[in-house]
Amino acid sequence: MTQPSPQNFDELKKRVTARYGSLSPRLQQAARYLLDHPRDVAFSTVAKIAETAGVTPSTLIRFANTFDLSGFSEMQGLFRARLVDELPNYTERIRAVRSATGETPDSTQLLWEFADANRLALEQLPGRIDPDGLEQALDIFEAARAIHVMGARRSFVVASYMTYALHHIDKRAFLVNGLGGMYGEQVRSIGDHDALMVISFSPYAEETRQLAATACERRIPLVVITDSNVSPLAQLADVCFVVQEAEVKSFRGLTASLCLAQSLAISLGVRHELGSTPPVGR
């Protein structure tokens, strides 16, 4: 019996996430782009979306059919309906068109490009983060006896800053850095009443994936910062923040992730101060 077609974007997202592992590599590639760039999908043509996603238009049509939709137009309608009550965000729809001159950019040109790309990523960040998710993450951190933070390779910068910031608001925090090859020992030191925060971006470090899986098995609350709704970390998280970083000439930034980490740490500090302030008149 044919399953009814999804009636809205959230329903489509749930179906894609649930079946992601069984999709072909091409459909997985399409899924990553469609779920991670919903505004672009809502406003672009099928040809442009296919080109940007690195797949063919027929792959997008096949993707829609796989999830019980008649074709790309019906699927795009779900993405557009999602934006009915939102104000148009032109910064997400405008892309600078640069001609390929073949010239090597000088340092000033690169600075402008990186600064502009990171500015755009920061402008988009608040609109991509669910306010309820922020509060849920803060609830987890506030209740935890200690917060353990891990980020391998490129993500290490965000993890180390988060640990530093938590120390400065007097929250017990430990950086899971695997120093001396002691990942296992550090993982075992995570208490049942602690929380874990993991930062990981594609291609997702194996040690990070293993730590997140272990936390899930032990039912340790897990907060994740990652780059895709179909990231293997997203499926394990109690709270998942999907952050789209700036990318210039194949170099990806960390500005948005650092901003989110800083916001979480300072918000937790504000909660702590409010909780420790005696009521007025006493």
- DSSP H or E stretch at residue 146: none
207: pLDDT strictly greater than 80:
yes
Q: Which of 46, 81, 116 is the last residue of a domain?
A: 81
Task: Identify the pLDDT of residue 95.
Answer: 38
pLDDT, mean of residues 69-81: 88
Q: Is residue 114 part of a domain?
A: no
- DSSP H or E stretch at residue 271: helix 255-276
- Our count of domains for the chain comes to 2
Task: Identify the pLDDT of residue 101.
Answer: 36
Condensed to tens digits (0 to 9), the pLDDT of residues 162-183 reads 999 999 999 999 999 878 777 7
**CATH code for the domain in which residue 38 is found:** 1.10.10.10
Whether residues 136 and 249 fall in one domain: yes
Yes or no: say if 29 and 55 are a contact pair by the CB < 8 Å rule: yes
79: pLDDT strictly greater than 90:
no
- pLDDT band (50, 70, 90) for residue 103: low
Whether residues 156 and 64 fall in one domain: no
Whether residues 33 and 171 fall in one domain: no
Domain that holds residue 54: 9-81
281: pLDDT strictly greater than 70:
no
pLDDT, mean of residues 227-255: 86
Count other Cβ atoms within 10 Å, centred on residue 130: 13
pLDDT, mean of residues 183-201: 88
- pLDDT band (50, 70, 90) for residue 43: confident
- Out of 58-72, 87-101, 199-213, 262-276, which region has the weakest mean confidence (pLDDT)? 87-101
**CATH code for the domain in which residue 155 is found:** 3.40.50.10490
Distance between CA 159 and CA 163 in Å, rounded?
Answer: 6
Whether residues 136 and 72 fall in one domain: no
- pLDDT band (50, 70, 90) for residue 276: low
Q: Is residue 180 part of a domain?
A: yes
Whether residues 67 and 176 fall in one domain: no
Distance between CA 36 and CA 48 in Å, rounded?
Answer: 16
Positive or negative torsion for Cα 129, 131, 133, 134: positive
Whether residues 135 and 256 fall in one domain: yes
Nearest to 228 by CA among 236, 240, 216: 240
Q: Give the chain's mean pLDDT.
A: 84
Chain mean position to CA 246: 13
Whether residues 166 and 222 fall in one domain: yes
Q: Is residue 161 part of a domain?
A: yes
Name which residue leads in pLDDT, 265 or 91: 265
Condensed to tens digits (0 to 9), the pLDDT of residues 2-35 reads 678 888 888 898 899 989 989 999 999 999 999 8
Note the pTM of the prediction, 2 decimals: 0.70
